[in-house]
Amino acid sequence: MVKAQGTSLYTTKGVIILDSEGKRMLSKYYTNDYPTLKEQKVFEKSLFDKTRKSSSEIIMFDNQIIVFKNSIDVFIYILGSADENELILSHLLSSFYESLSILLKGQVEKRAILESFDVVVLALDETVDGGIILESDPNNVASRVTKKGSEADIPLSEQTVTQVWQRAQEQLARSLLK
């Protein structure tokens, strides 16, 4: 992998999602800073300890800039090198969070993330590709992520959601026609 430099587009060193106890839900490292699981766990644990009580959204840790966001019972982290533009990273974080929010219908929380893990990993894949920001518009990201399997076997619970959605559309159309 090309080393992150000032003039390269490799801005992101990793994306991590931890739950409210600091347990890993998803970790994607784009560089080899923490090659083994053990090192990653140590890093994630100390990162979590540093940020769990913090109300702010940015920290300098282990010689990297880390922006993070606490949503209900999950923590989302974006890692960047120490000389990265903090605002780029924070832009990326909010765009990733927004796209999750669209895809998970505003419920960016542990249960929803685990239930729709496929959607979450695809959203990440559409946001960052190997350390390069691939898309920073949350609407575009969300529209590029496909939901679960084909139409035929949508379970009852989801069907109702679809129906609710349709009803809402109808209602909107009616109100516009008036």
Partner 1 sequence: MNLGKKDEDSDAGLFFHIDKSTVLQEARAFNETPINPRKCRLILTKIVYLLYQSEVFHTQEATETFFSITKLFQSQDTPLRQMVYLLIKELSTVAEDVIMVTSSLMRDMNAKSDVIYRANAIRALAKITDSSMLQAIERFIKQAIVDKNPSVSSAALVSSLHLFGANKDVVRRWANEVQESINSKGPITQYHALGLMYQIRQHDRMAVIKLVQNYSRGSLRSPLAYCMLIRYACKIMEDEEPGSRSLYDLLEGWLRHKHDMVVYEAARAICDLRDVTSKELFPAVSALQLMLVNHKPTLRFAAIRTLSKLAMTHPAAVFPCNLDMENLITDPNRSIATFAITTLLKTGNEASVDRLMKQITGFMNEISDEFKIIVIDAIRSLCLKFPAKQSLMLNFLSNVLRDEGGYEYKRAIVDAILDIIYHIPESKEFALSHLCEFIEDCEFNKLAVRILHLLGREGPKTSKPSKYIRYIYNRVILENATVRAAAVSALARFAVHLPELRDRVKVLLTRCLDDNEDEVRDRAVMYLRIIDDEDLCKRYIADETTYSWPSLERKLVEYVNDEAAHSSAFDISTTPVITAAQERAERARVATAAAELAVPTLRSTQGGPTPSAPSSTPAARGAVPSAAGDAQAGYAAAMEKIPELAGLGSLFKSSKPVELTESETEYVVSCVKHVFSEHLVFQFDCRNTLNDSLLENVNVVMKLETSEDDDATALVQDKAIPIQRLIYDIPGTAYVVYSRPGGVCPTATFSNALRFIVKDCDPSTGEPDSEEGYEDEYLLEDLDLVTADYMLPSYIVDFKRTWEELGEATEVTETYALTNVASIKAAVQNLLQLLGMHPCDGSDMVKDKATTHTLLLSGVYVGGTKVVCRCRMVLGDDGVTLEVTARSPDQDVGRRVVDAVC
- Residue 106 beta carbon to partner 1: minimum distance, rounded to whole angstroms: 18
31: which DSSP letter? S
The residue written with tokens 């729709």 in the block is 116
Q: Does 144 bind partner 1 (CB under 8 A)?
A: yes
Task: Classify 130 as helix, strand or coil.
Answer: coil
Cβ atoms 153, 26 nearer than 8 A: no
Q: Does 1 bind partner 1 (CB under 8 A)?
A: yes
Q: Which residues contact 46 (CB under 8 A, 6 or more apart)?
A: 61, 62
Q: 75-103: string of b/e by CB count within 10 Å (b at 16+)?
A: bbbbbbbeebeeebbbbbbbbbbbbbbbb
Q: Does 54 bind partner 1 (CB under 8 A)?
A: yes
Which position among 49, 111, 161, 168 is part of the footprint of partner 1 (CB under 8 A)? 111
Q: Does 69 bind partner 1 (CB under 8 A)?
A: no
Which position among 32, 63, 157, 175 is part of the footprint of partner 1 (CB under 8 A)? 63
Q: Does 136 bind partner 1 (CB under 8 A)?
A: yes
CA separation, residue 39 to residues 29, 36, 43, 155, 172 (Å): 12, 5, 6, 41, 52
Q: Does 59 bind partner 1 (CB under 8 A)?
A: yes
The smaller minimum CB distance to partner 1, of residues 106 and 130, is found at 130
Q: Does 102 bind partner 1 (CB under 8 A)?
A: no
Which one, of 46, 41, 91, 52, lies nearest residue 64 by Cα?
46
Q: Does 33 bind partner 1 (CB under 8 A)?
A: no
Which residues make up the interface to partner 1 (CB under 8 A)?
1-2, 6-9, 24, 26-28, 37, 40, 54-60, 63, 67, 82-83, 85-88, 90-91, 110-111, 114-115, 117-118, 121-122, 125, 129-130, 132-137, 140, 144-150, 153
